[in-house]
A and B are shown apart, each in its own frame.
Chain A
Amino acid sequence: MATSAPISKILDAGLGETVIFPSPGQVIRRRMRRHKGLIIGGIAVLLTFLVAVFAPVLAPHDPYAQDLSKRLIPPFWHEKGTWDHPLGTDNLGRDYLSRVVYGCRISLIIGFSIMLIAVTIGTTMGILAGYFGGTVDMVVSFLVTVRLALPAVLVALAVVVLIGGSMTVVIVALGFLIWARAAVVIRASTQQIRSQDYVAAAQAAGCSTIRILLTEILPNLADNLVVVATLEIGRAILLEAALSFLGMGVQPPTPSWGLMISEGKEFMLFFPYLITIPGTALFILVLGMNLLGDGIRDVTAPEGRT
């Protein structure tokens, strides 16, 4: 690999040994291939994404179609299971596989939307605080403290119940509640970038602040933003599931995994698959997101962590 790849910089050590320094792209590609977490996480997320996109093709039944004559059929590995309903049915006779498959869509859409709101707010605040410092920084830090002081799940529940539990309300409520971490991370990175010489150079060249923020700061935050965004999707999915589990998030009959666990809870002692299946799906997706986020951070880190 090292011989065929373009050599970006050669330092002749003068000692009969030619030391080849790979280009940044090569370093990242090499690290990616070696990073198991990144690969596993990437595959998990990709698979979930594909399942969500091709849900209509993959789901054997209509996830909303009830058939009370087929209530609580166990999954195929059970002796009473059938291949017509590979993962069984729930207490309303709905095909569980179809509901899990469509649940991918719900989780990804909600997770992604919440993340967009949270990361937009968090990034804006973080960049402003990190770049301007002083009073702006104090105000942002204050807002972060206030936000962290509020119990997120409780406030989200109250908002959803008082305004009415539609998916949009869940998304907006959670989006406005979990921006704090993004703000903290982006603030720290911005402070770091801000102290770089190229920012000083741009300032000296008389670039406008807006231009420096957009062309010097933001592009250099890109790696960090991807990491934060990925991790926040995972967190958002977990929070939505918790809300739905408490019966105050996504409303029935939508096939949200959290809601499915909540509905299955009543029957879990005799039909544990009702909670283990959606729970496992949730776990795999969030684990995948976290591994992917951590992995991206590791491979793009300047020194590379092992």
Chain B
Amino acid sequence: MKSVLEVKSLYVDLPLPAGMLHAVRNVSFHVNQGETVSLVGESGCGKSMTALAVMNLLPRKGVRRAEVLSFEGRDLMKIDDSKMADIRGNKMAMIFQEPMTSLDPCYTIGNQLEEAILQHRKVSTAEARDRAVFLLEKVGITAAESRLKQYPHQLSGGLRQRVMIAMGLMCGPSLIIADEPTTALDVTIQAQILSLLASLQQEFEMGLILITHDLGVVSRTADRLAVMYCGEVVETGTTEEVFDNPIHPYTRGLMDCIPVPGKTKPGEKLGSIPGMVPTPIGELTGCSFRNRCPSASPDCARTETRLIEISPGRAYRCLLSPEACAVEWNRA
């Protein structure tokens, strides 16, 4: 299968008044054509920063570095801003968390949709318009023609997110990055948007990076996933592998937080992970999860953790062996 995006040892640093924030640390993953890869974790774990680093849309002072950051064989670390702008919105599109504020209030939907393709393709405005109508219908918006003349404030959040998706598809990208695309929406709308994304991805054979904190979403849509904690990937594998057999204590903790139909009894308490996510500011040593980990030992503060590969594409970040992790977890 053709690889679309390859990320190896990505770091993102943000200078803050309190010190240097190491938002993303040594993150590696790849996305193949037609495949959905999910980045999972709590808010502030570096998922969004990873996505913005790939798009080269980091906040003004943010700095990224990576061993490999290649998109369709091109090294994104080496190309200049205008070449990157040629890729953005064209070959690689992004959908954001906040549909309510992600569209420019001063321009019509049509203008903003057409703008995306007029930037990258030599097409007439009429062709751009046709493409916009076609895609609005694709994302399930009725009366697409008349919607083009509407302004964002006239649409509901769900419709706006559909418009955002259509906008991302205008140039037929090979990779879509969806950053918590459903978080701001009603539950019923969430499911619609997700299945829409999944079907469009199938249809256009795009790679999809789905960023979410919702494991339910991951289990339904992702082929593979990377669990992130405090800027690092702590566990990665296919969705099936990770869900059937979580290794890292953090992944196990997350799994315990979701009810399982047929298994979780009424009235039974769901799990929770005590403590708070630490802020990765300044010099960092040892395992990031140790202050919340039931299996932590003094070693965890002293020894650097590594991502340990147990089979191709399946890895976890802990000092203990997978078996020891399981034993410790069941004891706690």
Which residues of A in the span 10-35 have a Cβ within 8 Å of any Cβ on B?
11-17, 19, 21
Chain B: residues with Cβ within 8 Å of the partner, total of 17
Q: Could you say which residues of chain B place their CB within 8 Å of the CB of A13?
A: 278-282
What 0/1 readout, one digit per residue, does chain B (259-289) give for beta carbons within 8 Å of chain A? Answer: 0000000000000000000111111111010
Which of chain A's residues has its CB closest to B286's CB? A16
What 0/1 readout, one digit per residue, does chain B (6-24) give for beta carbons within 8 Å of chain A? Answer: 0000000000001100000
Q: Could you say which residues of chain B place their CB within 8 Å of the CB of A17?
A: 281-284
Checking B19, B281, B283, B290 against A14 with a beta-carbon cut-off of 8 angstroms, the contacting residue is: B290
Which of chain B's residues has its CB closest to A22's CB? B18
Question: Could you tell me if B288 and A15 are in contact, using CB atoms closer than 8 angstroms?
Answer: yes
A271 → chain B closest CB, angstroms:
52
Q: Could you say which residues of chain A place their CB within 8 Å of the CB of B230?
A: 15
Question: Could you tell me if B18 and A15 are in contact, using CB atoms closer than 8 angstroms?
Answer: no
Question: Could you tell me if A16 and B283 are in contact, using CB atoms closer than 8 angstroms?
Answer: yes
B17 → chain A closest CB, angstroms:
8
Report the Cα distance A12→B301, complex, angstroms. 13
Question: Could you tell me if B282 and A12 are in contact, using CB atoms closer than 8 angstroms?
Answer: no
Which of chain A's residues has its CB closest to B278's CB? A13
Report the Cα distance A129→B281, complex, angstroms. 44
Q: How many residue pairs at the A-B interface have CB separations less than 8 Å?
A: 35
Question: Could you tell me if B284 and A16 are in contact, using CB atoms closer than 8 angstroms?
Answer: yes
Which of chain A's residues has its CB closest to B296's CB? A14
Checking A11, A15, A21 against B286 with a beta-carbon cut-off of 8 angstroms, the contacting residue is: A15
B304 → chain A closest CB, angstroms:
11
Report the Cα distance A19→B276, complex, angstroms. 14
Report the Cα distance A179→B182, complex, angstroms. 48
Chain A: residues with Cβ within 8 Å of the partner, total of 9
Question: Could you tell me if B281 and A16 are in contact, using CB atoms closer than 8 angstroms?
Answer: no
By secondary structure, the A interface counts as: loop
Question: Could you tell me if B291 and A14 are in contact, using CB atoms closer than 8 angstroms?
Answer: yes
What 0/1 readout, one digit per residue, does chain B (75-103) give for beta carbons within 8 Å of chain A? Answer: 00000000000000000000000000000
Which of chain A's residues has its CB closest to B22's CB? A15
* Residue of A11, A13, A14, A21 with most chain B CB atoms under a 10 A cut-off: A14
Report the Cα distance A107→B278, complex, angstroms. 55
Q: Could you say which residues of chain B place their CB within 8 Å of the CB of A19?
A: 18-19, 279, 281-282
Report the Cα distance A15→B286, complex, angstroms. 7
Report the Cα distance A17→B278, complex, angstroms. 10
Q: Could you say which residues of chain B place their CB within 8 Å of the CB of A14?
A: 278, 288, 290-292
Which of chain B's residues has its CB closest to A13's CB? B278
Which residues of A in the span 132-170 have a Cβ within 8 Å of any Cβ on B?
none
Which residues of B in the span 1-49 have a Cβ within 8 Å of any Cβ on A?
18-19
Report the Cα distance A247→B283, complex, angstroms. 67
Report the Cα distance A241→B288, complex, angstroms. 64
* Residue of A11, A13, A15 with most chain B CB atoms under a 10 A cut-off: A15
Report the Cα distance A16→B278, complex, angstroms. 11
A26 → chain B closest CB, angstroms:
13
A5 → chain B closest CB, angstroms:
15
Which of chain B's residues has its CB closest to A16's CB? B285
A150 → chain B closest CB, angstroms:
34
A7 → chain B closest CB, angstroms:
14
A22 → chain B closest CB, angstroms:
10
Which residues of A in the span 255-273 have a Cβ within 8 Å of any Cβ on B?
none
A213 → chain B closest CB, angstroms:
34
Report the Cα distance A11→B285, complex, angstroms. 16
Report the Cα distance A13→B282, complex, angstroms. 10
Report the Cα distance A290→B281, complex, angstroms. 37
Q: Could you say which residues of chain B place their CB within 8 Å of the CB of A11?
A: 279
Which of chain B's residues has its CB closest to A21's CB? B18
B128 → chain A closest CB, angstroms:
41
Q: Could you say which residues of chain A place their CB within 8 Å of the CB of B278?
A: 13-15
Report the Cα distance A129→B320, complex, angstroms. 64
Q: Could you say which residues of chain B place their CB within 8 Å of the CB of A12?
A: 291
Question: B residues within 8 Å of A by Cβ?
Answer: 18-19, 230, 278-286, 288, 290-292, 301
Given A15-B280, A16-B286, A19-B282: 20 more A-B contacts, CB < 8 Å: A13-B279, A13-B281, A13-B282, A14-B278, A14-B292, A15-B230, A15-B278, A15-B282, A15-B284, A15-B285, A15-B286, A16-B285, A17-B282, A17-B283, A17-B284, A19-B18, A19-B19, A19-B279, A19-B281, A21-B18
The 4 residue pairs across chains A and B that have the minimum distance between CB atoms: A14-B291, A13-B278, A16-B285, A17-B282
16 A–B contact pairs at CB < 8 A? Answer: A12-B291, A13-B279, A13-B280, A13-B282, A14-B290, A14-B291, A15-B230, A15-B280, A15-B285, A15-B286, A15-B288, A16-B283, A16-B284, A16-B301, A17-B281, A17-B284
